[in-house]
Structure 1
Amino acid sequence: MTAPTPVNTREGLPYPITVDQLIADVGDDISKGDRLFAYKFWYIVEMANSPDDNDSAETTKKSVRESIEFFESPFEGKLHCWNVEVGMEIASPNQTVCQIVRPCNHDIVYGGLCTMCGKEVDEAEQLAIGGANLAISHTDLNLKISRKAASDIGHDIKKRLRNDKKLVLVVDLDQTVIHCGVDPTIGEWKRDPTNPNYETLKDVRIFSLEEEPIVPFMYMGPKPPLRKCWYYVKIRPGLKEFFAKIAPFYEMHIYTMATRAYALEIAKIIDPDHSLFGDRILSRDENGSMTQKSLERLFPSDQSMVVIIDDRGDVWNWSPNLIKVTPYNFFVGVGDINSNFLPKQQSTMLQMGRRSRTKVKESDDLLTDIIDTEKILKEKIDEEVKRQEEELSHQEGPRNEEKQSTETKEEWTKKLEYSASLEVQQKNRPLATLQEHLQNQKLLIDDDDELFHLKDTLVRIHSTFYDKLEESPNNDAMVDIKYILPDMEKKVFDGCHFVFSGLIPLNTDVQKADIVIWTNKFGGTTEIDIDENTTHVVTKTPGTYKARLAKSYNPKIEVVHPDWIFESLSSWKRVDEAPYRLIVDQPVSPEDVEQFKEKLERLRREREVQHTAKDEEEYDEFAEDSKPPNPADLFANGDSWLNDEDEEIPSDEDDDDENENKSETTSEIRGNKRAVPEDGDDAAATKKPHVVDAEDEVSDSDSDMDEELLNMLDS
């Protein structure tokens, strides 16, 4: 016998509703669409006044009406129990009203058919009841499972991993473990022993893919011939040793925003014997989103044992399970060829990582050229996208009414941007442009050591997880990567207050910059300007005004190169500032320092005033909240007091003589005040529908109460 399935109220009902009659009995066989219960609700209608009604200046009057509707069963089965009773008010959706034992819960569905009973499954029905609508397969979107099935699978995975004493590692590809480009210059240099970059290109791997040409949106004609595109792949230094070190501790999955064909080719290079990833490869073709990644896509019920490594934090919404790595930029000026499917990023010095300091042969001009080259490349990609869009929009492709394209406009646009980015890189040859700056010097330098630090960090995370599990065997719910990682990270920059100078573009929200979010995860805080709390000014050059002011204002403030940040982030420990300290030779004038101190003092006083005002405001709000509730809020305890008959509510007020004849209860309501019931009557005042006697209703109508009711309903 299957477990009962809860039936919840859906969106779109005229809430609040009141259960009026339970139609089905416990034990009844229910078909999909059968009426389960009747409910009533109230609404307002406007009616024209009678022409003979000369006493009213209004042309319309409002009336409260009651209506009855029926709640139908979303699926078939046997009614197991009721979770509501007659007279109960339901104020919002997703409230359980009853439970039904279904003949089959359709927990696993493939291609629209239940794998258990063979019946065709209504996708809308599954969405409504939380049925088989979760895709967890790496390769097949046709396979859907219910949340219960996902929970069972998640429990089995957790049990298996703990028995093997492993965790899960989700691995990004581009700029995390490899760097890929399509610039034909790479192939030419690789074949030329006289080129200064020849040695660093010896281990570059090459493969080709048949790319589909972009056709007009909703094009239904025959497919144009495929075109071949060559890819050049550089493996991040130390990757082989990295995998060898962590493989005993982690079950690894590939998660990339590249195509599946691309991901499979990269997997052949980094995992030739399929011993590391097997078939655990998820690409954008199966992801379900063109711009975001989500752990729920692979592990919908439990992510407590999952660690992510990726060079982009924004695509994960900075998940607490994420370890952001410094982007691997071997083919300088090229960037990530699959970044068109990700949120846009600005090219900055910080994206160069430690390259901006450790490559002593590279001049400041070259670094600027690299960033400028990436910007120019992006601009040309945008121009190419516009050109191709305009060209394709004028092409009239054949139409076939019997065939329908499942591709959305967004998907088509992203593919167009990707195609344009490949064409622009192939035509503009950014590497050749940058090499001209260095003449016969080496442009491509390969001394990245990110994975050297990362493998040790991952082993520490694994040890911490299982140590905590042994310490708390009966409270394993708290042994979770989303708690362990932040706890380890925040110790790195605890107590550090940063100011970035000359590194974050102007007119940028500093708190949304990647480097700021990243350092915040590791316990640091960042401000736009120097203040009494500043501990570090991070800059590429000590000549910036903020760097000079910092040293003049407080000599204890460290002025450091960004490499200190990256080295600390990579090693997960606050490294010594000495090797990264910048010498400030030109302090600001004493007058500037005094003006700065006066400004700080002025800001401090303003903050005190604002803090005092905020405290007073919070006290006033507390005092207001502490007052007894306004009895005139006619809906505070539901609207079940409304009578069963239509009640006409005049727009104008009644005269004073009529008001003198009101009942005691009505008089207490008048003037936005309502009598507080005696202790014994308190429960009765807030419980179940209250039907007003029809005779009292006619004689005791109150214009103040009516007007208050209309105001409540209109709002």
Structure 2
Amino acid sequence: MSLAAESPVHSSSSDDFASLLETDLLSNSSGESPERDEDILDEITSESVSERSAVWDSTDYEEIELERIKRPKICEDEEIKESQSSNANQGELDNFKESTSEKVCPPHPGFYKDMCIRCGEQKDDETVARKETAVAFNYIHKDLKLGAEEVARLRATDLKNLYRRRKLYLVLDLDHTLLNSTRLVDVSPEEEAYLNATYLNKETSSSNGDTSGTLFKLEPLHMLTKLRPFVRTFLKEANTMFEMYVYTMGERAYALEMAKLLDPSGVYFGSRVISQGDSTVRHQKGLDVVLGSECAVVILDDTEHVLKTIQSEVLKGCRLVFSRIFPTNYPVENQTLWRIAEQLGASCSKELDEAVTHVVSLDLGTEKARWAIQRKKHLVNPGWLEATNYFWKRQPEDQFPIPSKNGGGS
């Protein structure tokens, strides 16, 4: 992404344009320049005095003196009118600038160091926080923030290109997924001896710049890192099917070093290395900092809870009631399906009310199932919830009907 290409108007050229426009407006509105008006006034006054000199007498003195006294008053009145006209023109100019700015960037697509990447307008932190909703994409470029509309536009454009190349997005975790790392101080002498004996002449250290091995002693980070078996083969084959990101809750220095071990030539990830400091929610991963449409994202991670933000949106707004699903005399809040529903963002209830959207049951004959049919609520079997949890996407309710059989109860 080229910031220069998106910024056709820079601050310096904007100032020059505004000055030129202001001068033009003021000169056109006044009709004649102030200097020209004064020359004309001097000429008229001079002629008047010459004419009076030809017929000079004592009776004319008072009239000439009165003319001399009135002239400064006339000039003063002209200056007041000119000032008022100038102020009016300045007000019109300010309104023009404001309307022009609004037409150029409504709203601003993003900011680089608080300068709009399109129009070049400066925005301080307070104004940005108040008027513009922007997400930081520091991993792409330091101090880069993009607004929601611009992110949506970029995602839509990139999605078309991705589909054309028949690919999807793959967001990869690092630790316990692609590799394992441990601090050097935590490695016992016995473990160090084992590693040296096992990988001697087979693996290499990154200290000599060789990243072809799978075991690395990273002195600057005081860590020992081991790549998972066949990880290089996996990345090579995945690269043909996916546009890949690294997303870790580790620090940025660690993330970049690990990405270099996995991808020495930078052909798999490029700048798409997201670390803890890039997340908008502390200690949680979110796709809001991934420039990829969610419908085309595959996530590979060993820990579900770091993705509570994505998962909790799956059934947001749904209210579930369970009928004949859980054993009696057991707290329903501790049941697996109940907890899964809440993790997916649904709210669960023991009682029926108009806010209920789904009844989960195995029997059409229960009171709650009949209520769902009468009120035209969703009536599904537990497989709907399990499939939704598996795909992290709400599944079509009509594909999970309840088998018909006789029964009663609640």
Q: TM-score if structure 1 supplies the norm length?
A: 0.29
Q: Which has the larger radius of gyration?
A: 2
TM-score scaled by structure 2? 0.48
Bigger share in helix: 2
